[in-house]
Structure 1
Amino acid sequence: MLARQRQELILEEIRRTGAVQVHALVARLGVSDMTIRRDLDVLAKRGLVEKVYGGATAAVGPSREPGFKTVRSLQEKEAISAHAASLIRPGTAIGISAGTTTWTFARFLDEVPDLTVVTNSIKVADVLRAGRRDCTVVLTGGVRTATDALVGPVAVRTLRSLHLDMVFLGVHGMAEGPGFTTPNINESETDRALVEAGQRLVVIADHTKWGVVGISTVAALEEADVLITDDGLPEDAVALLRAKVGQLVVAEPLPELEEYVEAEV
């Protein structure tokens, strides 16, 4: 297959799913890892894709995701996601909430075999279905929001009938009193049902979420078995969260992302 043909196939897959991963393209196209990375370099230089850790996403402007509003702290979200994915054992059942951080996290799960994922996010489900046969994806059903989250009594009823090993929760804000919050009341009820379905709760939230308070609480800080954040969190917040959550993890920047930043300067 010619390079131009490969690159057209890569673009087609990105348009369909929003993102591609290098190892999945290697398996699909039967070429080397370096060949795929060169193809992504060519497409990135042409402004057609944006390179991210382990693959590429659609080029829809700086730090943006398809169908989402502007995504802040993308590098931090990727570092958080990589660490969160390392917590998952093969063959487990996990829950993933909706949001830009969890969308990022879903793209890091290709290396975890034999997964069952329950989610109320259409975008998360789309990422997980792309090119995988060993991942069972369960969508909760429910009323679709503008951000492609499924909420309401149908979603809640589904979640209350399930038992999950771990739940990965993205949040709008986190603060000492209100805990982990969201600005959407309907979404908060669905997220609470998701939290209750899991044996362990892992909250994934970058430092910009600290001090932000949404209208509705999803969980208290003490309910988080693990909170994964980044090194932008203020020192006083680090001290408080270490005392409140089961385990606080400050994710280190990903080496490959640092290379991309240096290359763009």
Structure 2
Amino acid sequence: MLARQRQEQILRQVQESGGVRVTDLVTQFGVSDMTVRRDIEALAAKGLVDRVHGGATRATERSVDEPGFQVKSEMNTLLKSEIARTAASLIQPGSSVAVSAGTTAYAVAVALQPLKRLTVVTNSPRVEEVLHDPERDDRLVVLTGGVRTPSDALAGPVANAMLATTHVDTLILGVHGIDLEAGLTTPNLQEAQTNRALIKSAKRVVVVADHSKWGVIGLSTIATLDDIHILVTDANLDEEARREISEHGVQLIVAQEN
């Protein structure tokens, strides 16, 4: 097979699944690790993919690009469901939980619906809608105020002031990107401030992010890896990334297919 043909197939797989792993491509094409890495480098040089630890992902948006909720909700849906079920299992009945905006955090909110005696604080109108049930007297849902962002978060001074006096057991935090050096990031400056307020409000911070978020850097850093306790991700996150995350003292939980 010609290099151009391999690269076309690699690009197609990245576009369809969001990312590919070098080890899988080596097996698929029957070529060396170095050959696959050169193919990925050639695609990355054209801006068609992004190189990440152990593979490639869809070309990253600019640091200020902020896809809307609907666009994000159509990406990696199966992986988000697996992550959501795993993250929801960490929440105990009778506890208080903050849930951020974002499609993966929203999926966790859906998975939390059966839980009894739950107090939820959120800056996501979509999370509030899915968890608010006037017939459930064992669940309290508190929605912060704020200005709505493209990702359907309520952010800004009103949300920050409310969260400054809030104290929850656990925060479920969705992020735009995760990077070893840049930490947890978002393209929206107001949302970054509100997410920092969410982190300060929580005893335990659980980040929910599929493997495609690794190596993605948004405009503003929310927190470092040292500021979080648990990362729930999927099995496609490569071993080097897993090692680096664990070295920062973060408990890594890999969601399994059901």
Task: Confirm or deny a common fold (TM above 0.5).
Answer: yes
Residue 231 of structure 1, aligned match among 211, 228, 235: 235
- For residue 70 of structure 2, give the secondary structure of its aligned residue in structure 1: coil
TM-score, with length taken from structure 1: 0.69
Segments of 5+ residues of structure 1 without an aligned counterpart are 1-65, 255-265
Partner SS for 1:91: coil
1:99 and 1:207, CA in 2 relative to 1: closer, same or farther beyond 3 A? same
1:178 aligns with 2:182: yes
Equivalent residue, structure 2, for 1:84: 87
2:104 touches 2:208 (CA, 8 Å); kept in 1? yes
Structure 2 CA distance, aligned partners of 1:221 and 1:106? 23
Question: 1 CA distance for matches of 2:256 and 2:134?
Answer: 29
Task: Say which of 198, 212, 231 aligns to 2:216.
Answer: 212
Q: 2:69 touches 2:103 (CA, 8 Å); kept in 1?
A: no
1:194-213 per-residue CA deviation (whole Å, 9 max, x = no partner) reads: 00000000000000000000
Matched, 1:95 2:98: yes
Q: CA deviation at 1:217?
A: 0.8
Query: C-alpha separation between the residues in 2 aligned to 1:172 and 1:117?
Result: 22
Q: Indicate the residue corresponding to 1:114 in structure 2.
A: 117
CA contact (8 A) 2:148 2:154 kept: yes
Encode CA deviations 1:80-108: one digit per residue, 9 max, x unaligned: 11111111111111101000111111110
Residue identity over aligned pairs, in percent, reads 46
Counterpart in the other structure of 1:257: none
Q: Show the counterpart of 1:5.
A: none
Distance in 1 between the 2:143 and 2:151 partners? Answer: 15
Aligned partner of 1:68 in structure 2 is 70
CA distance in 1: counterparts of 2:82 and 2:256, whole angstroms: 6
| Partner residue, 1:249 | 253
Aligned length: 189
Q: Is the 8 A contact 1:222 1:244 kept in 2?
A: yes
C-alpha change, 1:214 and 1:229, in structure 2 (3 Å) is: same
After superposition, what is the alpha-carbon deviation per residue over 1:130-167, rounded to whole angstroms, capped at 9, x for unaligned? 47512211001011223321110000000001111000
From the superposition, tell whether residues 148 and 184 of structure 1 become closer, same or farther in structure 2 (CA, over 3 Å).
Answer: same
Are the equivalent residues in 2 in contact too, given 1:140–1:158 (CA < 8 A)? yes
The 1:76/1:186 distance shift into structure 2, 3 A limit, reads same
State the TM-score, normalizing by the size of structure 2. Answer: 0.71
